[in-house]
Every structure is written in structure tokens, then in C-alpha cells.
Structure 1
């Protein structure tokens, strides 16, 4: 078993341990709602429903990459990164809290191929599920007290809560932009910074903090996560219009039909060409998607987004180089970064 497989197993165990706070006689059904959303129970449960657990992996790999020659093979020695497992779980629980609420706000009926929580149990109950995930995440951070001094735990909690506030800022901007027709590229970055980069930056920052990195090195880890998030989001925007549906599992019609203010779209609107003319006429139908996507491509939207993705990728890798991760954890962190920065799905 390699280090990433070991971490994924421990992440899942820790998540179940944290969510079990609600596994009480009067709240068993409530607990089941959380386990359903997390992908462990209900129709369609399993690895496809749980997601890839990228964020908690980033936490543990960052921590491990700062501990030189950490032993994995000795059954009598617990790897150091296990001390950070509750923080890794906290990050994943925050991510899932945001997904439950996003599904309500976006009126999305499917999440990873299954009914969303609000579809199964109604929006009021789903809001409560999201709230519970948020609270449990903050309780999970406090479990770090078993291994770390109070000042380190407080700093980790502060990083996490600042990222949560950024999530709400990003979501506010995303929703407020829906009714506007004057959004420019400059307004795109604060939105995706909040919605995507803030939490990834928290992953690598907290991981470095718990790996006892000095502050300058923590900042390199944080900036690696931040620019990783920006590159990841731009690639997601590209795949949302021109991706291969058989590979991504997502309809390329959705982003254009939903009128998403993605980077290629904002670039195309700024060109004031045929794409912008069609966009101004009203919602795009599924039957028009292929032709509208070609208009956007012809006007340079795809090429521009790909170039920006390359720039953000280079920044992320430069900061990762500055962070100088070590050992098996460092090797695995680099491999994960390269995989996320060279996406086909």
C-alpha cells in the first residue's frame, strides 16, 4: 500500500468517525442523511458517490512532505501525518457543507449521479444537513488538541474559518453575477478565488502548519494551493464547454445553457463579436450549444483560457518548488499536483 492509498483509507475512517457524532437514537435518520450525501449509504453509494477526496489528501500530503524519512512500513510506528487526520476531515466536511448548500441555491437535482439531499428530503432539511457538516468540521479541528499545542490548533481553525468566509464571498459573487450582463474578466478572479482557490490554499497551508514548517515555507505551500485552485477552475471552465462528455461524465451543454460566467465566456463577451451578440439575445438552447461553442472558439475564447491555465499552472508549480516537499509524501504531492494540473476530466 502506497502512502496515498494509506491516507485515503484513514481519511474515510476519520470522516465516518466525525459524522458519527449524530449517530444517536433520536437522530439516526438525520445521521443517515449525512452518510447519504457523503456517498456511504443509499442507492448508488460507493467510490463514485464519495468523490476523490482531493482536499484532505492535500492536507495530509503537505504534512507528510515536511517530515523527512517518515516510516510507513513499521506497524508499531504511526506515521506523523496521522496527527493531522482530523484537520483533513474538517476540510472535506467544509467542502461537502458547501456542496449541499450549493445544490439548493443552484436548484441542482443531481450530485455525482445521485439525487441531491434536498431532492430526497426537501430544502429545509438539506440546509440543516449542510449546517451539521459545518459544525462537525469545526469540532474536528478541535480534535487536533490531542497532538498539537493550543496556539497551533487556533491558527489551523482560523485558517479554516477564513477560507469558509471566502467561500461565502465567492458564492455571493457567483449568484449576484447571474443577473448582470456587464461582468468582465477582472471580476471573475475574486469569484473563483473564493469558490475554488480559498479552500485548496487552506488545505496546503494547514498541512504545512501541522508539519511544523516555518512561516515562510507555509506561505509557499499556501500559494501553491491558491494557484492550483485557479488553474483547476480555468481547466474546469474549458472542459465545461469543450470537454469530452464520455471522459468528463458531464454534459458540455450545461455551462452554456445555464449561462455560466466562465472565463472563456467572459473573454468572448469582451470581444463584442458574434458570440456576444448571441449571448445578449437570451438563453442558449441545448441544440445550439455546438454552434455557439464554435463561435466562442473561433473568437479565441478557448485559446485564451488555455493560456491562462498554463500561466496559473506554472505559478502553482513554482510555489511548490519553493515549498520543497520531501520524502514519499513530497513525491506523492508532486504527482497529485501534476495530475490535477493536466486534467482531461
Structure 2
């Protein structure tokens, strides 16, 4: 499911590279990339069905709901590029739908197949949702200030594409002089991406995103504690959570 979303996302964004390699559409064409993504998505629920578990039907239902939610989040993300009234609450909701739902459902499915009770599954789902939000925040930071040699993306790619990412939205709504200047320049094609990055940072967008990612990480830890997992499993998931907030690619 994740790879399906990446194949289609690269088509929609027109990205030429992914993980330091050419994207599928850039090598094989848009139609083939869409069809490959569709095929992968069709194969995914078969993995759940093939388990023969008594939970398979529930798992496939959760999976389907997650796909719909992910698409809703992606649709919102696309619409933001044409809107001037995007607030930070709407942007966070988009990130929770697009990324938080994917990781939340993944964690819930793990709990379901492991025989967790309803309280534990809820805690695992919330843990994944918070990790998803943190992941998106860090991803947005890397989209502006990441090292292209590490991320595999062009420098300041999100600003070049004029994406209303979380740091940008926070800066635009900051009420600061830098935020107002950013709003004036953001949709002007001749505006330099380096200057836009400076304005986002000056308006507090970078600090806000970093702090919000850490807050999401802290909430994730609390949900993980409530899940009551054994020490090894809990430790591995906590390490995964920490990675989302401190990765560089």
C-alpha cells in the first residue's frame, strides 16, 4: 500500500527521483506507473486474506478504510496549492489523513493479528498516528532544508514546487512581518527558493515544525506505554518512533 502511494505520488508531483533512483513514471511512462501502482494496491489485501486468520476480514476492512482516508488526505494536499486560505489546523488534518492513517492502521493491524485487546489496538493505532504526523513534519522540513546528497531530492524542492507544507503554512499564518513577506512572494514564479526558505525560518515555521514533531513523538511514547507491550517489542517500536523525529532522509 505504501509503495502504491509513492508510485502515484511521484506521478502527481512530477518528481524525477525517489530514494536516489529515477521514479517509475520517468523511466516507464505515466500510464505504466499508474497501472503498476494499481496492481500493487490490488495485491496488498491478498496478503491479509492469505493468512487464513479469523481476523482477515476485519483487517481487509481496516485496510480499505485506510486507502480511502489516504486518498482524502492526498486530495486535500493537492487542493492546497490552489487555495490561499489554508490554515495550520487544516494542514495538520491533511497530514494525519495522508500519513498518520497509514502508520496508525499498520500498527493496529499488527495488534489485531497478535491477539491484542481493543484497548491495546486503540493505543497502537494512536501511537502510529502520532508517528505519522511526526514523520510528515520531518519530511516537510527535509523538503526545504534537507541535504540533496542525503535525501535524493533537489534542493528546496518543496519550495520550488510551491507546496504549502506544514512549516510553510505555519509561517504564512504566523502574523509576522516575515510571514507577510512570504505570502507576497510565495506564488510569484520569479521568487528565489532560497529567499523563501529564509522567510519561512524567520517567520518561525522551521522551529514550529521541529517542536510539533517532538510533541507528536512524546504523545506517541505515551500511547505506546498504554499499549502494555513486552519490553523487546516496545523498545523496537520506540526506536522506530525516535527515528521519525531525527532522520535526515
Assess same fold via TM > 0.5: yes
Q: 1:153-208 deviations in whole A, cap 9, x for unaligned?
A: 11111111111001110111011111111111111022111211111001110000
| Contact persistence 2:10–2:23 (CA under 8 A) | yes
Report which of the two structures shows the higher radius of gyration computed on alpha carbons: 1
Residue 200 of structure 1 corresponds to 103
Question: Is residue 106 from structure 1 mapped to residue 28 from structure 2 by the alignment?
Answer: no
Q: CA deviation at 1:303?
A: 1.6
Change (3 A) 1:321 1:284: farther
Aligned residue pairs total 247
CA distance in 2, matches of 1:316, 1:269: 28
Query: Where in structure 2 are the equivalents of 1:231-270 lying within 5 Å?
Result: 231-270=134-173
Query: Where in structure 2 are the equivalents of 1:166-315 lying within 5 Å?
Result: 166-272=69-175, 273-281=177-185, 282-283=187-188, 288-315=192-219
CA distance in 2, matches of 1:309, 1:284: 30
CA distance in 1, matches of 2:15, 2:143: 16
CA distance in 2, matches of 1:246, 1:285: 25
Q: CA deviation at 1:284?
A: 5.5
Q: 1:141-164 deviations in whole A, cap 9, x for unaligned?
A: 11111xx22xx1111111111110
Partner of 1:194, secondary structure, is helix
Residue 62 of structure 1 corresponds to none
Q: Structure 2 unaligned runs (5+)?
A: none
Change (3 A) 1:277 1:255: same
Q: Structure 1 unaligned runs (5+)?
A: 1-93
| Contact persistence 1:268–1:300 (CA under 8 A) | yes
Q: CA deviation at 1:246?
A: 4.2
CA distance in 2, matches of 1:284, 1:271: 23
Change (3 A) 1:243 1:103: closer
Question: Is residue 159 from structure 1 mapped to residue 159 from structure 2 by the alignment?
Answer: no
Residue 19 of structure 1 corresponds to none
Partner of 1:260, secondary structure, is coil
Query: Where in structure 2 are the equivalents of 1:35-74 lying within 5 Å?
Result: none
Change (3 A) 1:246 1:310: same
Partner of 1:219, secondary structure, is helix
Q: CA deviation at 1:306?
A: 1.7
Residue 74 of structure 1 corresponds to none
RMSD across aligned C-alpha pairs, in angstroms?
Answer: 1.9
Partner of 1:313, secondary structure, is helix
Q: CA deviation at 1:241?
A: 1.9
Residue 36 of structure 1 corresponds to none
Q: CA deviation at 1:315?
A: 0.6
CA distance in 2, matches of 1:266, 1:340: 21
Q: CA deviation at 1:108?
A: 1.8
Partner of 1:144, secondary structure, is coil
Change (3 A) 1:218 1:110: same
- TM score, norm. by length of structure 2: 0.91
Change (3 A) 1:113 1:342: closer
Question: Is residue 123 from structure 1 mapped to residue 30 from structure 2 by the alignment?
Answer: yes
